[in-house]
Amino acid sequence: MSTMVFVNLPVADVARSRAFFTRLGFRFDALFCDEGTVCFAVNDGCRVVLHRAQRFAGYAAGALADPRYGRETVVAVSATSRAEVDRYADAALAHGGTHLRAAEDLGFLYCRSFCDPDGHAWEVLWMDPAQIAAGPDEAAEVC
């Protein structure tokens, strides 16, 4: 089995979060879902697990960060095209998400960001495959 990444986030209302991410087009894995947790696949190697806040607190072994007052993370998901970036972001904003910052268009990279109903920051990005194939030397000039 290849290495997988599981992004775990606390949510106030598991059903609301499930509805929100369903509207963005994600499918949930019934094996990892119950009344206090839902899990969806981003791809074969990455899952997002949304836990009721009290359950998450047990896993986190510490105080929960409040995303209304600061960021602990920005979850970034790649898209296959600029149009897909817009589809995700538009769907998020239409279904309860809030605007995080202005779209960024660097030519080789296009991204939009939003916050989910619990205030977690998400970014959807597309990178030009031709620029990626150019290699790290060209990319380093951008950083």
pLDDT tens digits, 125-141:
999 888 766 655 554 45
Q: What is the mean pLDDT of residues 81-95?
A: 97
Please give the model's pTM, rounded to 2 decimal places.
0.79
Give the tens place of pLDDT for each residue, 34-63.
Answer: 889 999 999 999 999 999 988 888 888 778
Give CA–CA dist 74/52, Å, rounded. Answer: 19
Whether residue 143 has pLDDT greater than 50: no
DSSP designation for 13: -
Give CA–CA dist 142/139, Å, rounded. Answer: 5
- Long-range Cβ pairs for the range 66-71 (8 Å, 24+): 66/119, 67/115, 67/118, 67/119, 67/120, 67/121, 68/119, 71/121
The chain-wide mean pLDDT, for the chain, equals 88
CB atoms within 10 A of CB 79: 19
Whether residue 73 has pLDDT greater than 80: yes
Percent of the chain whose predicted confidence (pLDDT) is above 90: 63
Give CA–CA dist 104/52, Å, rounded. Answer: 32
